[in-house]
Amino acid sequence: MAPEVAEMVPYNFSADVYSFGIIFWQILSCDEPYKSYTYNMIENYVIKKGYRPKTNPNWRKPWTDLTISCWDKNPSMRPSFEDVLRSLRQEICDLQGDPDIDNLDIDASMRSRRDI
């Protein structure tokens, strides 16, 4: 959960963006964040001091940048989910070798071959 949720202060959708960043990190790393931390360590280091899981230098730079931006200590500095989606769509295009994000048809990728 986002630090502001743990601290029980008012929060908004940026707390969900923080959680997405943690889940995205888990997917990329195939690991559990803070698995060796006690509750007191999480409270002291993660919530109060802003510690975050280490990113892998071998990850694509846009993945690292997106992950880190989702964890910003200042909730107003985190990207919106529209920005997250735009980043992920751009990565799909880049990986497919098509720089034109407008050509990306996410819905088409979800159709079965039988329907095409």
Q: What is the pLDDT of residues 19-70, one digit of tens each?
A: 999 999 999 999 999 999 999 999 999 999 999 999 999 999 999 999 999 9
Lowest mean pLDDT: which of 42-46, 75-79, 100-104?
100-104
- Can you give the pLDDT at residue 61? 96
**Sign of the four-CA dihedral 56, 41, 79, 30:** positive
In the numeric block, which tokens belong to residue 56?
């892998």
* Domain spans of the chain, in order of start: 3-115
> Is pLDDT of 114 > 60?
no
Superfamily of domain 3-115: Transferase(Phosphotransferase) domain 1 (1.10.510.10)
Of residues 44, 42, 3, 9, the one with CA closest to residue 21: 3
Per-residue pLDDT, 43: 94
Distance, in Å, from the CA atom of 40 to the CA atom of 48, rounded to the nearest integer, reads 11
Q: Inform me whether the pLDDT recorded for 116 exceeds 60.
A: no
Mean pLDDT of 84-104: 83
